[in-house]
Each structure stands twice: as structure tokens, then as C-alpha cells.
Structure 1
């Protein structure tokens, strides 16, 4: 039995359901989670509510969410385009489809499906796919597909292509209402942010680390960020870029914190201690040590970097292994096998490329030697690291860190359950 719950701000609908726009959100890996599925769905919906912040500014009313089997339905008073744009940023949905919510009857479903192809160009091919969640519906899925397809052909004269159609009309049949969609947008896929734990991302101003953060989020990690600047020997441009990047990335998750840490004095001490051609590796080791300390304070379980194997001198296998040796938490590298162009293309897709290309003063270039060691060993860094009090350096850096939460200044609208049953399993 499905228990009905009162909808806060949305009336329960009795009798036939009127035609109305909504958005179908198709679940991804969540449907594979067996007995724990409800925990993933709850987190998925919490993240969806967070993504809807600001969607109702200036619009009276509310937004509602309803769960069906492996599908979430989103509707309300906000503009549909706004709901679609925000839902497409939520990790865990593989498809986002504008749809019409109609009465569960042959006439209503056929009318909505025919209307979905209004304005289609002559020669546009289509296919109909139906899913019958409500088994007592008088037609089987195949029979309904044939009926709807025939009516579309009668109305528009369009050809059918069951293999690679230009338009795929999808029908979801439920007990009291059904959903008809003729357009599908790709979602982010992956797992809901927060279901895999928490991580701290070393966020630079380049292409790589923002893409690595996004990939970590897709695997269910909720991310905070730390950005190391060369201050006081560099300007604030890189910090501004890091803030902009973190704000963009926070659109994909409940907003995480950004920690701006000045590394300049520590870099100078490394150089004075005789780091020489091991300066860059020494800096990287110091960064991951500091990041490990900060991550533990934030109750994060891992550190994420944008390293790609062999991309620069500090990212050879031996140098990365030496950097890992300095960490006290696992160092995750989501881009380890990616090529640079793949990373740039993904940065464009997720919206960080335009920020990453802006000029700044990279702290990694500060005091960098002409030649960087490609195969650094522990004994190569042991000497100059002994001349430093790394623990004291890290405490000083973290004590003076600036902390913000980019993107957390939007007000959240009330998001209520949908009218009628909350969960449909038929």
C-alpha cells in the first residue's frame, strides 16, 4: 500500500489529474543499491532541494518532488527551464526530461503524445517507448506504443524509426497520472554527492583540479577546497580565481568551504633550506601534508588532486609516490589517465574552463628551479626537510587561512512532497 502524505503548499488532487508541465528525472546508479537504495534516494532528493535554491525568487508558490520507481518527478510554480537547468547539475540523475503530467487514460496520453511533436519538421523520425507501472492499465506497453505511434502518424505524417529516431516519445503510466515526454537532456549521472563521504580538493587555478573535483563529486564525494597562494610574494589573482571556481563547482553539490592558504613564506624557507631542483616536489609534499591536517579537521577521509600521469615534472610516477608518502590520508587522482585535451573539453562542459583560462600568478612557479627532478627519492628531500619545522609551518599557514563558502548566499525555496502517493512501486 502507498501511504499518502499531505503536501505542504500544494493541494491534494482528487479525480482526474489536469494536464500540467513537470520534469522527469531518471535515476542512475542509485537503482543498483538494493536494500540501501532508499538512503541514496533520500540524499539525492536532499541535493535536489539544495540545487533548487533561488528558483522561486519572485514566483509565488512552491516546488514539489515526487518519487516513483527509479524516477523522480519535479514540478511546481517555477519556470520549467529553470527547474531543468538546476536539476541537470545534480549528481545521480542520468536524464532530465521535460514532460506533461496527464490523466491515466488512452485519450489523454495520446493527445499529449501527439502534441509533443507539434512543430516537428517534415521527415523527422520518431519512436514511442512506453513503460506501464500500473499493470491494470488496459493496454500493454507494446499495444500503447503502436496506438500512440499510429495517432502521431495520422496527425503529423512523420516516419517511424525504432533504431535511431530523431525524437523519442516516452510514456510513463502510473495509477492516477501518467507522464509524456518528447525531449531528453543528459544528466550528470554518478552517485548522489555525500553518499561516499567527504574529501578535500587541492584547487589550483588551472583546468585540471576543478575537473578532478567534479569527477570526485560524481562518485558521491562531498568536497571542500583548499587553494595555496604564493602570498605575500604574489598578488591575489589566483585566490579570486579559486573563489570563482569553487562557486561554480558548488553548483553541483551542497556548498563546500574554500580555504585560502598562503604558502609563500614556506616556499622561501624550502629554498633557503637548499631544496634546489627538488623545490617543486618539496612544495607538493608540504601542500599534501597541510591538506591532510586540514582534511582531518574537516572530517574528510581523502585528499583529491588534479594530477595526470606524466603531464608535468611533478606528476611522474616516482614524484607522485613521494608526494603520497608525505600525506596522512589517501590521495585520490581522478584524472590519472586523462590527456590534457580531454581535461580541457570536460572543463568546458562543466563550466570551469572560462575561469581557468584567466591569468593569475601560480604559486607553483614561485622560486621554481630551471630544472625539476623527474625521479625524486626520499633521501633527496630528507636533508632539507630536516632543516624545516614542517609541523610549525603548517600550523602557521592554517591559522592564517581565509575561509569562505562560495555560492552559499542563495535563499532556498520550500520544496514539498508531490500531491498523492510519495512512492510508487507498481
Structure 2
């Protein structure tokens, strides 16, 4: 990185030091005796994120900190690490031997690259209690030497332009002056596996990302309106799943053609219940699929009251048909909050692309906001739901976004 200090060798040692990245752990530091399991999962996910980076890398653990380095540019390590859920911050750093002379010289050279007139502060942490200076003494010593050798700078302990963080371990010390926010949360996979009902809108991808941040590894299921809609929604779901897989060990995308089953519900007289009835069929089918792939819960992008199908009564009616726990991470979110989150995680530009959403297929002009279970069950009794569900699952198409090629466009009849 620009302004990287040239690290001098301590007398009598080999200068096997240099740039690295400090990854501060998130809430896993609160875990007790099983903290090591969360840390191992976090490191497994980090190794996956480093695949194909173009050079050798190494990972080591300090106290509630992971240190990352390797024979690749520091910027590349930072970019990969910022995708990994579970780190509080990602800090480009320099690693030097834990001698006062070397630490001082590295600190001075780091601050020499700061703009003239800017304020700085030194924050020191002495993990090795055998180090001759206490944390406050080390911070004072480094601040004084920086002012002495870089007089164009000024000390500002209240609102500094640059904070030089110095962390002293027994054999090596880390100096950093840039801090990128991490994704925090629990390591993906530490809470189990979930199946996300992935549409093409803003909501469900954000819900998936929130579920990942609570430690859930996610697979995806997308219900298309085929054979009565074109494949545009499948392409969107694939692109969304591929973007979301940047944050986790890649999950699979299951595509289920729902069009014929939707038509069966309409013929059975669903009427104003059509939207809720097909949502019940979706969660019923997704629950069966979840059981086959080892997912313990479903995740949806529902937000209370956002649309007619997401009233309290309708959500309860949908839950009654599910054979798995249904998680709704966005239940209390406003639409603008969801859109802002979609932009932050990189899915918004995909979600705005046009498509033919299966939820609009055969939807009534006015959907009910209070679907009654007796009426829904009466419609469903006119179908053999077990047979319908098995037919849907028999035709499932499984993809691996981010690993396989973009799916070929299937031939579909013109929309009705």
C-alpha cells in the first residue's frame, strides 16, 4: 500500500516481516468454552474466500485477532477478507519484531507518509506483559518520537485524522493506521443450514444475507412461473445467488417450475385466496426440499404489512402449511432500509432488472388481506397436494452459482 514503511531488521535477526492484515473477531469473543469451534469455522470460511487469489497465504491467531498474510498484494487480502462474515474490522497492517527500536522506526515511517498538518493519535496495547514499557508509556514514547521526526504533524487525541494502533505480542508487533468495517455476526455455518425462498426482488436476497450473518449457511430455492413465463426470473435468481455466495461457502440454487400448480389452484377456485394459496404451496414444497438437503429452517424476505400477502393473518396462514421453522429476518424493516441494504451487499442492481415474477401470474385484481384457514383448506382439498408437491420436486433443477456455467435458456411458451 502507499506509504508502507520500510521495516528495518532488528540487530541479529532476519527481517522476515512485512505487510499483513489484522482481522478483529466479532461476537465470537463472547463465546465460552466452545469459542475454538467458532474460530475454526471462521478460518475455514476465510480459506475458502482466499481460493484463487494467485499466491500463497498464511493465517495465524492471536488473542481475539486473526492475522492474515502471504505472497500476494495486501489490497487483495483486504478485499477477500472483507467478504468474510464474523470479523468486526479489517485492518491493513505491518508486522515487525517486538523490539522498541524497530517498533519506533516503523511507527515514524508510517506517520511520515501522512499529510502535513494532520492530527494523529497513538493507541498502544501490550499483550506481552514482559515488554519493558506499559501500553500508555509506549504510546507516549511513540507519539513523542513521531513529533520529533515528523514535525509537520500534530497530536490530536480527541478527533485525530489518523489513529496509529500498535499491538505488542511476545515475538512480533502489529502497526495499523487504516480500519475497514467488517461484516460482524457469526461465522457462516456455525448456526446450521437454511433454505432461502429467493425471488427476484430486493427483499429475499437481503434476508438471506442477514441469515448468513447469524451463522446460517444458505441454499436457495426459486419458484418460476414456467411454463407460462419466460426464464428471466431464473437468470435473476442465479445472479443473486452467485452474488450472495461471495459471502459464504457456495450454496446451491434449486429452481422449481410452479406455473402448472398455480393454474391448478386457480381452477380449484382460489380466487382472492390465490396469492396466499400459492405461498402455502411454496413453503410446503420448500419444506420437503429442505428435509432432503439437510436444511433446518426456511428463510423468506417478508416484511410485515409491505404487501397484501404479508399481513399478520396471511403470514400465519402461510406458516401453518410449513413443515419447517420459517425465519423472517426483515419482518420489521421498512422498504427503504431493505433497498439501502441491497445496495450495500451488491444485489440491488440485479434486483431492478425486469423479469416475469411467478407471484404475479394468475394473481387476482384484489388479494385478500385476511385469508381464512377453512377457505384455504377447502381449495387445497380439491387438489392432491402430496402429488402436486412430489411433481414439483421431481422437476427441480439444481445449479451451483459461482461454480457452474450460466444456465442455458429453456424454451418456454409465450406468457398467457
- Mark yes or no: TM-score above 0.5: yes
Write the distance in 2 (CA, Å) between the matches of 1:163 and 1:336: 39
Task: Report SS of the residue matched to 1:35.
Answer: coil
Aligned to 1:66: 60
Write the distance in 1 (CA, Å) between the matches of 2:149 and 2:330: 50
Write the distance in 2 (CA, Å) between the matches of 1:110 and 1:273: 79
Provide runs of 4+ in structure 1 moved above 3 Å: 14-19
Residue by residue, what CA displacement relative to the aligned partner does 1:242-296 show, whole Å, maximum 9, x if unpaired?
1111011111110011001100001000100000011000111011111100111
Query: 1:113 Cα deviation (Å)?
Result: 1.8
C-alpha contact (below 8 Å) 1:16/1:176 kept by paired residues: no
Aligned to 2:140: 146
Aligned to 1:25: 23
Aligned to 2:178: 183
The one of the two structures with greater contact order (alpha-carbon pairs below 8 A, sep at least 6) is 1
Deviates more, 1:375-384 or 1:401-410: 401-410
Q: Which of 48, 51, 65 does residue 50 from structure 1 map onto? A: 48
Relative distance call for 1:147 and 1:165 in structure 2 (3 A) is same
Write the distance in 1 (CA, Å) between the matches of 2:393 and 2:119: 60
Q: Which of 366, 371, 385 does residue 380 from structure 2 map onto? A: 385
1:93 partnered with 2:87: yes
Write the distance in 1 (CA, Å) between the matches of 2:344 and 2:301: 17
Q: Which of 145, 156, 159 does residue 154 from structure 2 map onto? A: 159
Residue by residue, what CA displacement relative to the aligned partner does 1:96-128 show, whole Å, maximum 9, x if unpaired?
000001111112112222222333223322221
Q: Which of 284, 294, 298 does residue 289 from structure 1 map onto? A: 284
- The 5 A counterparts of 1:129-278 are 129-156=123-150, 157-278=152-273
Residue by residue, what CA displacement relative to the aligned partner does 1:159-214 show, whole Å, maximum 9, x if unpaired?
22223322111111111111100100011000000110110000011110000000
C-alpha contact (below 8 Å) 1:259/1:403 kept by paired residues: yes
Relative distance call for 1:144 and 1:150 in structure 2 (3 A) is same
Write the distance in 1 (CA, Å) between the matches of 2:264 and 2:189: 38
Write the distance in 2 (CA, Å) between the matches of 1:395 and 1:114: 69
Write the distance in 2 (CA, Å) between the matches of 1:408 and 1:42: 24
Query: 1:369 Cα deviation (Å)?
Result: 0.4
Write the distance in 1 (CA, Å) between the matches of 2:138 and 2:294: 52
Write the distance in 1 (CA, Å) between the matches of 2:404 and 2:182: 25
For structure 1, the residue ranges without an aligned partner over 5 or more in a row are 1-13, 411-426
Write the distance in 1 (CA, Å) between the matches of 2:331 and 2:149: 53
TM-score (norm 2): 0.92
Write the distance in 1 (CA, Å) between the matches of 2:15 and 2:32: 32
Aligned to 2:408: none
C-alpha contact (below 8 Å) 1:193/1:217 kept by paired residues: yes
Residue by residue, what CA displacement relative to the aligned partner does 1:302-325 show, whole Å, maximum 9, x if unpaired?
000000111111111110011000
Task: Report SS of the residue matched to 1:191.
Answer: coil
Relative distance call for 1:409 and 1:85 in structure 2 (3 A) is farther
Number of paired residues?
393
Write the distance in 2 (CA, Å) between the matches of 1:127 and 1:283: 60
TM-score (norm 1): 0.90
Aligned to 2:34: 36
Query: 1:409 Cα deviation (Å)?
Result: 5.8
Aligned to 2:70: 76
Q: Which of 112, 120, 124 does residue 114 from structure 2 map onto? A: 120
Aligned to 2:318: 323
Residue by residue, what CA displacement relative to the aligned partner does 1:351-392 show, whole Å, maximum 9, x if unpaired?
111111111111100001000101111012121111011111
Write the distance in 2 (CA, Å) between the matches of 1:49 and 1:355: 27
Instruction: Please tell me the root mean square deviation across aligned C-alpha atoms, in Å.
Output: 1.4
Write the distance in 2 (CA, Å) between the matches of 1:316 and 1:164: 47
Task: Report SS of the residue matched to 1:78.
Answer: coil
Deviates more, 1:215-224 or 1:157-166: 157-166
Residue by residue, what CA displacement relative to the aligned partner does 1:3-46 show, whole Å, maximum 9, x if unpaired?
xxxxxxxxxxx945534110000001111111000000000000
Write the distance in 2 (CA, Å) between the matches of 1:402 and 1:221: 23
